[in-house]
Structure 1
Amino acid sequence: MKMLRKTPIKRICRFTLVELVAAMAIMVFVALIIGTASAAFYRAWQRSARLTDRLKVFLTVDRIMDVRVRNMIPFSWKDDDGVERVLFEGSRDEIFFSSRGRAVEGENSAYLFIRLKVNENHQLIAEYHPLPRFPRQEEGKYEMKTEVLAENVMSISFLYASLKDDEIIWDEDWEEYDPETLQENQTDILLLPLAVQMTVEWKDGTKEVWLRRTAGAARYSRLGGGGGLPRSETTAGGGTRGGRR
């Protein structure tokens, strides 16, 4: 009699509902950890990028203040009436001055004539003029290069340091040199501010302040052509005395 062999029955292993729920919970937990870590890393990267961009802007403004404002000089030039005047204008929201040093983009001039201001696009800009000019002369007559120093600027404001009774005072506007206002034997005369402070307010409400002393604020220093400023006294060094009290 032939014996029938039993075919072994394969058992199929199935996960229980509890095991499936536990596995799903672990996967969700791992995904949550990865997502949280990725979001934190992305936020940190964004903060780092913003700080890096802001630092670049600060370095750009620092360069202008260190190289240009610090090297401000009392450059004088004759106007249309033949009167020699210092090429400088300081108001609350912009400044025009002469600076020594290498010119931008290969210019061969030993001096630059610079205006710092905020334009209609909320950009802090520097306008470079390679030739002497008075602050309010028509812009179109003169070659000019413009450099954007910072974006998203709400406003800028300047303060100018001067002397009064041997005390340093700060003014929002710098009065132009007027020889008629000089007193006899007056010695505390300045052609330029002793120092310039610039405050930049950004659109986000933050503010930064830069303060620099000027190189050309000495009482006996003057550069430029012509016979000298009115009522100036020639010194042994060849400079002239004149300026603002």
Structure 2
Amino acid sequence: MDKSERLLHSSSFGAAAAAYAEHRPDYAQAAVRWAVEPAPGARVLDLGAGTGKLTATLVELGADVVAVEPDPAMLTELRRALPTVRALPGSAEAIPLPDASVDVVLAGNAMHWFDMAVAGPEIARVLAPGGILAGLWNVMDDQVDWVAGLARVSGSAAIGPRDTPADWRAETAEMHLPKTGVAARFGSPEQAEFPHGQLRTADSLGATLATRAGMLVMPEQERAATLGRIRAFLASRPETADGEFTLPMLTAVLRVRRL
């Protein structure tokens, strides 16, 4: 994805901020604990915080957290849901915090949108020495047969790179840092995956997938056709045809330490 295409996709969420807040999953608490584990009692920055899905989990765990989000509509949803959290406009490339002011920087389903050539040094600037940078992604467990089938019929716009475990491992193995010349600022990356799940119905799972960037930028006719295929598939499977079911997921984490 080139720079202009990445910008188009990353800026698409604001128009669907309310749906994003309603339908996107939270993060497995065990995954968040592992992400911040090397820095107990940490000051945490949730970077690219969106509507506050990861922020809320951090609050539940008692973290001292500040959230930074570039999209005004997403930031409005975050502030509505979490009025006691300090939430600031800003981006990974221009973080509105002082030098060495946080111990952990987390990004939930957001790091792939960062321009790491700029964001890498900026993240290193706000991290205290020895601080932690971690990206978290909720991915679908395609070892489950019906989930693998859903991925096949949905197309890459709905379930694409980083959305299944094997793809996530390949996409994030180097966290883009060696490619951007900032690898010297961070240690070797560690990966871990934690079981997770989201209670869904066929309609709400379709609504969740409709908040993916690839879906949001689609022409309306193509988007409607894709959602139609998804609904038809879910209606055809005994696991998903009637009532509520659990969407099998993993929260995948990539963690590095600031040198």
TM-score scaled to structure 2, two decimals? 0.24
Structure number with bigger Rg: 1
Structure possessing the higher relative contact order (Cα contacts under 8 Å, 6 or more residues apart): 2
- In the superposition, the TM-score normalised over structure 1's length comes to 0.25
Q: More helix by proportion, 1 or 2? A: 2
